Structure 1
């Protein structure tokens, strides 16, 4: 009799739910009709993950596991479950109204994750590890910028209240000149002057170190994103930081991105109806991944300032009576469509490695080339180095160099 019950248990379909934390995960199991079967807590270790999977499998055939925080505290369990061949879906945190209604605890959240997997409300595959290196470099580079900005702000605040002799000497200097001058200080004078100058020197050196650190991280990040997706990196207005953010948002397993419309919604760039009465309009979306939305915004600003096609588009829309906000919304939606293609399809990048050697072999300077095409020398330089992609200019430039 006991054996028959055990066989029936193993034959039933079950769904799992995981509420993840730094040191523990709470795992819940429900039947295919939503009934609660069991829940337990496990450590976030290799042994703990193995025990949690054994716990799930002991209650039947695991159809799917809903995990809250697949890219953070639940990353270890997600990796172990997918290695074991189990289907893992990403579960969003319950909204506030639901939490107020049913309460908050680890078992409650784990069962809620399991119900989300059962109902199909949670259906997104978690991101895989192929962009983990890009994510790590991107986070480190961003933290370096934040720390550098904080140090620069501290320098400014100290100079506001510093003794007059210090303010007069360093207060009028700007940016790099001020940092360089403060980093070379030899603190001297009375106790107050010495303390203030020592603090300023320490902060200035910190700024210089963080600047060098950020530049090194950006170079490493540029190499990673170019190797991962050269078409995305070569798109107009897409720098290393922007490309990294879009890759992190999309994840390495691009089958998660079903349509370009869903990607636009993920980036908060899908138009949201804002009509009422006789007013019929759309507004900017305030949802989605705000970091990805900021990446699209940076691309839009670059193209509005230097891309001829975008400038012409902005002029037409302005003449049609659209506001700047509306134009940026339209641009971000179009850019999201282009970025989706770059992320999901292989884009062939025309070679530019021959441009600089060809120019140098003809003894043509950057200034002369730029003057011929009516652009800045920096435009030709970035084109030759592959920093900025412009296929039309590259082809015209190559033809001109060949004929010169």
Structure 2
């Protein structure tokens, strides 16, 4: 362990100290500053539980630990962050400096002291670190696997189409005009001859393997979505029951906010985190805002998907859009305003969730009345499959549940 200590005249018992950590895959470098900015020491530790204990022991040897600034709390510093949080140490996420700002060079001690100085100078401006634990962390890892499976499946269908373009005439004409689903199902069921027999046979073998890979990935994606549905229903039932929020979009917003969404200071900060905050784009007589191209792009995608769903299914959203268009807003401006409004709503659903209406008794109420799913759905203007999903708790919707319950209750008292 490398150690460099500068002697100070203050008594350790009287000191408040701040630490900065430069994180790497195998080792972390820690630097200690007093609250007056004096350098007390820096050292390197292994990125293990024993190393994390050394960080706390060594830092506390100089006095009371006021704050620890860590680079990469969601990557290389995740383990150290979780350990320090468990020990009730206040930590902050350090924003890595731009290369142009590194006037003094770069090394592990320099970066560690820079992290400590940033934590000391602007503790309130630095973001609180995610806890990286609990249901949201489970959702994050499953969502990561699902995204990679989606990309792999897209790559497979592209390969199939590419091979069909250049395939021998006998193979190409066989699948011409078929839908993607039919091509996958039929290719997976083919039984071509030996691949060494001809180009056609080798191509048929390749296509069958790709089709079966596509099917396997589809099964994996469906299994992941079912697992995510259960976790999301536990982590954010109020958001999942709100119109427009699906399993994947809700999971994405949960991961962006983290297991401790209270770390978000305001709904405006959450909107900026999602890349949905308005950016001024005015010049001369032009006074306007543009879409924000920063922030978490996955969260921005989730807001975009929710906006599209509401634009097609929600009357209030349609009325809101019509008012904006009547005031001269372009389609991009309308979408920006809509995503900003959804970000505001999502923030409150995460930080101040409301109780979700119970739906486990709706089927019993319907059977008590003696009506079918089709009749109930027609009466409230919904699809029978949607009512069935609501009764089984597979697709919660607070607004639809309230409407359905009111109709059933009124009918029972007639």
Q: Residue 144 of structure 1 contacts residue 213 of structure 1 at CA under 8 Å; is this kept in 2?
A: yes
Residue 110 (structure 1) aligned to one of 109, 112, 117 = 112
Confirm or deny that 1:228 pairs with 2:230. Answer: no
Q: Secondary structure at the match of 1:315?
A: helix
- The CA distance in 1 between the partners of 2:314 and 2:89, in whole Å, is 47
1:3-402 to structure 2, matched below 5 A, reads 8-99=11-102, 101-120=103-122, 123-128=126-131, 129-130=133-134, 131-188=136-193, 190-386=197-393, 387-389=395-397, 390-391=399-400, 392-399=402-409, 402=412
CA-based RMSD of the aligned residues comes to: 2.2
TM-score, with length taken from structure 2: 0.90
- Give the whole-Å Cα distance in 1 for the aligned partners of 2:107 and 2:202: 51
Stretch moving more, 181-190 or 218-227: 181-190
Paired positions, count: 400
* Offset of residue 401 of structure 1: 5.1
Gaps of 5+ in 1: none
- Distance between the aligned counterparts of 1:113 and 1:73, measured in 2? 15
Contact 1:13 1:32 survives alignment (8 Å) = yes
SS in 1 for 2:11: helix
Once the 2 structures are TM-superposed, how far is the Cα of residue 296 of structure 1 from its aligned partner?
Answer: 0.9
Runs of 4+ residues over 4 Å off in structure 1: 4-7, 360-363
| SS of equivalent to 2:40 | strand
Q: CA deviation at 1:117?
A: 0.7
1:348-370 Cα offsets, whole Å, 9 max, x none, are 11122233343345553333333
Q: Per-residue deviation at 1:132? A: 1.2
Distance of aligned partners of 1:306 and 1:11 in 2 relative to their CA distance in 1, 3 Å threshold: same
Q: Which consecutive residues of structure 2, in runs of 5 or more, have no partner in the other structure?
A: 1-6
Is residue 67–residue 91 contact of structure 1 (8 Å, CA) maintained in 2?
A: yes
CA distance in 2, matches of 1:85, 1:277: 52
Q: CA deviation at 1:231?
A: 0.3
